Structure 1
Amino acid sequence: MPQHLSDVLNACERMGKLNVRADDLRAKLPDASPEALRKALYRQQRAGRLVRLSRGSDHWLIVPLQHAATGSPPLEAWLDAYLRRTLDTPYYVGLLSAAEAYGASPYAVMVTQVMVETKRRPITVGRHELVFHTCARIEAMPTRWHESADGRFKVSTPELTVLDLIQRESMLGGMGRVREVLRALWPQCTSEGLVPALGAMCSVPVAQRLGALLALDEQAALLVPLSDWLRGKTTRLIALEGALPQGEERADNTNTDFKVWIPPQLGANT
């Protein structure tokens, strides 16, 4: 039976177990009083050997020596265990972070954007900053595993990533910035993947805007399933970004197939 917390942590790391919970540690150190264990955890945290992921979770993350400079191992090593197992929270990595996972973001993403069912406060784990966004019907959203040698976490499919980016463009720097990301994502999107993503999100305005963007970027293969999905649904004239203008300017810059007015600065296919 190990006598010290450091021995327990070393043994866990050798087994590849970086996610540990207070109950597990107590079971491995039965002779340690609750106060002694609390102080030992605090010392290991001060030394950078442990990181507590959030208050009240009792979920601790072992920091291997090779990750000491960043203060935590990569997200793949702990994100899924923390959210899905410890917190029992459905999630997926989305938006610009998902695009980055697909190698499709021309911007450096400073935070990891995670979609969850209910509102959560941001957390910082080492150099990783996680920002949470709420998503209704999250368990119906199509996802896949993003895997590396360190582990894996759930990420939105390329098609769902596209829809999320369009839906939340105002918080991502505007549709101009989103368009740059979408151009890099189009080759990874398929007709087979688009249909379930549209059905899960079930937003006609987002689908209309997607149609206008696909037309601008000449993505004919994806226009067919989108048009089929929109058939029979009620649409109204909307703006690709911002508010609809008044007068003739509206007619001159409108995609009539999808009833989307396109601001002149977004109309160029550049």
Structure 2
Amino acid sequence: MQTKVTNFQGPSYNYLEDFITEIRSKGRYVLTLEEVKSKFNLSDKAVNQALYRLKAKKRIAQIRKGIYAIITPEYLRQGMVPPALFIDDMMQALNKPYYIGLLSAAALYGAAHQQPMEFFIVTEKPALRPIRNKKVKINFYIKKEWFQEDIRKIKTDAGNIKVSTPEMTALDLIYYQESIGLSRTLTILEELAGQMKPSILNQTVRRYPHVTAVQRLGFLLCIELQLPHLAAPLIKFIAEKKVLPIPLSTNKQRGGELNEQWKIIKNIELESDL
């Protein structure tokens, strides 16, 4: 049972510093406004003043309204801890299911080519506004549903985080290509391929809700990257679905040569950065 602290005799932010130490002892990097109000019997003004002092001392940094990252000494210079250390606690505080995906998932598998400057989260509706400030940039993408078989738990200093498997990461990169760019995606796929398994990919594509992403991924793996062992399970899947022709890039005009096997109109020239 949590004890509520009342009737302060000294500066309330000192008590908050002790509270932060208590939170860190549990392995957490997140402080929320709600838990401060629950713990301490303070007016809103007093709470805001205490939080302001802690921000000024660089003990905490605001992530979004009512949610703060606890800055530990090793991250004092940056003024922010890596998102992987606070994202799980933040999404729990927001009561939103999530997984780390796209470029951020690829980076965790060593396949980002260059470390992304932004963090990528997939969640459900209603949409969350992106987080944009000098210290952190987090993008939120919406998906109606996903299967737990396509999510891994990866251990960090703050506990487990949820990350899309390499196979679902590849499909998501294709599906959200307008945000990532196909040439960049091709480079990442080339690095990510070593982490992907044909047997798992075969199962993942059958759960994935967007067949067009499977078509485009199959074309890139088979034709552009020359990885027939990964493309093989997708060939059978596409044949079963009897798909219609679609353009490779959703950002370009439809004109281009049609690949009959994948029913892909190659309307863009791609080149990997590797």
The TM-score bracket by the shorter chain reads 0.7 to 0.9
Q: For 2:101, give the aligned amino acid.
A: G
1:76 and 1:44 mapped to 2: Cα distance? Answer: 22
Match of 1:187 in 2: 194
Q: Structure 1 residue 130: deviation in Å?
A: 0.4
Call closer, same or farther: CA 1:76–1:237 in 2, change over 3 Å: closer
Match of 2:54 in 1: 44
User: Is residue 99 of structure 2 the alignment partner of residue 92 of structure 1?
Assistant: yes
Q: Deviations over 1:66-114 (max 9, x none)?
A: 211222222232101111x211111111112211111112234111111
Match of 1:222 in 2: 230
* Residues 117 and 138 in structure 1, CA contact (< 8 A), matched pair in contact too: no
RMSD across aligned C-alpha pairs, in angstroms? 2.8
**Partner of 1:73: helix, strand, or coil?**
coil
**Partner of 2:160: helix, strand, or coil?**
strand
Q: For 1:106, give the aligned amino acid.
A: H
Call closer, same or farther: CA 1:48–1:262 in 2, change over 3 Å: same
**Partner of 2:243: helix, strand, or coil?**
coil
Match of 1:10 in 2: 21
Match of 1:206 in 2: 213
Match of 1:75 in 2: 83
* Residues 88 and 161 in structure 2, CA contact (< 8 A), matched pair in contact too: yes
Q: Structure 1 residue 263: deviation in Å?
A: 4.3
Identity %: 27
Match of 1:111 in 2: 118
Task: Give the one of 258, 266, 270 matched to 1:262.
Answer: 266
Q: For 2:167, give the aligned amino acid.
A: E
Call closer, same or farther: CA 1:177–1:15 in 2, change over 3 Å: closer
Corresponding pairs, count: 259
* Residues 71 and 126 in structure 1, CA contact (< 8 A), matched pair in contact too: no
* Residues 72 and 126 in structure 1, CA contact (< 8 A), matched pair in contact too: no
**Partner of 2:237: helix, strand, or coil?**
helix
* Residues 212 and 258 in structure 1, CA contact (< 8 A), matched pair in contact too: yes
Q: For 1:47, give the aligned amino acid.
A: K
**Partner of 1:254: helix, strand, or coil?**
strand
* Residues 124 and 145 in structure 2, CA contact (< 8 A), matched pair in contact too: yes
Match of 1:130 in 2: 138
Q: For 2:227, give the aligned amino acid.
A: Q
User: Is residue 157 of structure 2 the alignment partner of residue 149 of structure 1?
Assistant: yes
Match of 2:173 in 1: 165
1:141 and 1:103 mapped to 2: Cα distance? Answer: 21
Q: Structure 1 residue 168: deviation in Å?
A: 2.1
Q: Any unmatched runs of 5+ in structure 1?
A: none
Q: Deviations over 1:171-197 (max 9, x none)?
A: 223x22221111111111112321332
* Residues 71 and 125 in structure 1, CA contact (< 8 A), matched pair in contact too: no
Q: Which moved more, 1:116-125 or 1:185-194?
A: 116-125
Q: Deviations over 1:98-149 (max 9, x none)?
A: 1111111223411111111122111147722101111121456711123333
Call closer, same or farther: CA 1:254–1:267 in 2, change over 3 Å: farther
Q: For 2:260, give the aligned amino acid.
A: T
TM-score norm. by structure 2 comes to 0.82
Call closer, same or farther: CA 1:135–1:181 in 2, change over 3 Å: same
1:8 and 1:171 mapped to 2: Cα distance? Answer: 40
1:46 and 1:145 mapped to 2: Cα distance? Answer: 35
**Partner of 1:231: helix, strand, or coil?**
helix
Q: Any unmatched runs of 5+ in structure 2?
A: none
